[in-house]
Amino acid sequence: MKTLRIHEIYASLQGESTYAGLPCVFVRTTGCPLRCTYCDTTHAFFDGEDLPLDLVVERVLGFGLPLVEITGGEPLIQKNVLPLIATLCDSGQQVLLETSGAFDIAEVDPRTRIIMDIKCPDSGEAERNLWQNLESLKPTDEIKFVLASRRDYEFAQQEIERRKLADRYQVLLSVVFDGLAAKDVAAWMLEDKLNVRFQLQLHKFIWDSDARGV
């Protein structure tokens, strides 16, 4: 029997990506080998419960929402996340996969919208970026840079321009909550004419920034 270690399953509003603001079911898996300095989901590193895939699907469909995001932790460290994604796609769900960018995405069902981080220097995990993943992304997939400093912004700008990321994918810039000022990043983007999308973590403005399950 195929199982996944699941930290939580819940419904909320999508807080990030081009789907921000839409009702969404979140499947948060347990475990992540990365330790980003700004991580806001450290509670998902451990614990959780082993659930059969069919039960996970049943719980997701029970919410009656068409959008579901697989997140973590890092979902791709569990091999059975791939059949879960495929089954949810077969069930008519629009599936988003949020991943750190440190693990191979080549086998992810192509019906999935992948939201992939590229880690910036201040994350402490930039050396984990698996650049070959860029060749597996589709034009409809999304790349996210989380910025903690001007240095991070300059890193993101360099990679966006050098690799022509904005011509190939949806590119998102985000700031560490209560860290780098959003207005500063907005000013830099306008000054540099950087044609990407800036985003805020919507859920942290609706609910308490430390709230779980929202």
pLDDT of residue 214: 53
Residue-wise pLDDT for 86-142, tens only, equals 999 999 999 999 999 999 999 999 999 999 999 999 999 999 999 999 999 999 999
Burial 142-170 (b: 16+ CB within 10 A, else e): bbbbbbbeeebbebbbebbeeeebeeebb
Residue-wise pLDDT for 33-62, tens only, equals 999 999 988 889 999 999 999 999 999 999
Peptide bond into 73 cis (omega under 30): yes
Mean pLDDT across the chain: 94
Residue-wise pLDDT for 131-179, tens only, equals 999 999 999 999 999 999 999 999 999 999 999 999 999 999 999 987 8
Domains and CATH numbers, the chain: 3-206 (3.20.20.70)
> Which runs of E-coded beta strand occur in the chain?
3-13, 23-29, 49-52, 67-71, 94-99, 113-117, 142-147, 170-175, 197-198
- C-alpha 144/C-alpha 115 separation (Å) is 7
Per-residue tokens: 94: 């629009």
Give the residue-averaged pLDDT of 26-36.
Answer: 96
Task: Confirm if 29 and 73 have CB atoms less than 8 A apart.
Answer: yes
